[in-house]
Structure 1
């Protein structure tokens, strides 16, 4: 392991380490939108007010600190000279995936890479990233206790039909379906049971009608419907 990025990681504050490790929920070469990441960090409970700054300002500062330390790479620069998207350097991604797994911070399911079983973990699963899943892995996942999962990120376009039903994820704070397909094959009827949900994204999907249970999510802070087929919101939102 190259010592330079490892030393850079060790030099971070505990809050910045958590925010950096969180990036392992995204696949290799995934372009991460700044505003999306900031909202997700806040929804996860990683960000607190600091020195008179609100959580939004603190999270944005964390975003730019990681760029300034060359731990992540800016991809697109806005007109104001600030990065609006980024990706993780390959070498740093290897480090944070290893560290996340070691600390049981995030469980990544990626059957496309030859994975036939879930990574070893101790204690509860709290952050879950589904990058590819087939029926065999889905059966393994369905047998686990998912009631403590706080974050579910599905980045594989065809994984929806293999996901366990929503009622198993009763502690979810973040649910991200960006780029997923096949919502007709997935039961969304228990959306109203996700009382802790703060962030919900259907961005870049073909979903046309939202589950009615969304109106019961009183704590929801972000509902991302960009680039979807949704024309109207359920009554009550």
Structure 2
């Protein structure tokens, strides 16, 4: 079953107006969203089924993407055991690639409890580079965090899970992680940044800035 967040994400694509997700066995609507014609479920089920039959009969590749260009334009996918029809304004590569990117994107969520821990620690590091950037070069601290992740993530466990966007460390998920892994890695990132801060500001000033971050985090929890 496709996650509802992914389906809702389709509506954020500029040329997508709606979608219908149908049961491949009986053509019934599982869910839909946005603006779609009333007959869309029938079209998606019929064309999706026909496409699979043809691909099997002629030994073609597995059904990936069918484009229907008529009074309305549809893209039909089979991301699981069911069919998904997406109504689009045009069949440009950018729109199709965005649709496929959202629907077939790997689920990186992982354990919700571990995800919460990772988000908390990522927030700490985001505030830390923000604090260290005061009176300094923000790009330097952003790049140092990027560099630290690349150097310290030797097993590539965090490669898809952490992104530095602007001055913020963004968490994409916690797949494959446990608390020990998260605690160890995030502490290494913290130590790396603090050592760089000591080099630039001196020991006392670096400690003061870390203390400022601790105070901000305490206020956020209240």
Work out whether the TM-score is over 0.5: no
Q: Which structure has the greater CA radius of gyration?
A: 2
Give me the TM-score of the superposition, normalised by structure 1.
0.23
Greater relative CO (CA pairs within 8 A, separation 6+): 2
Q: Which has the higher helix share?
A: 2
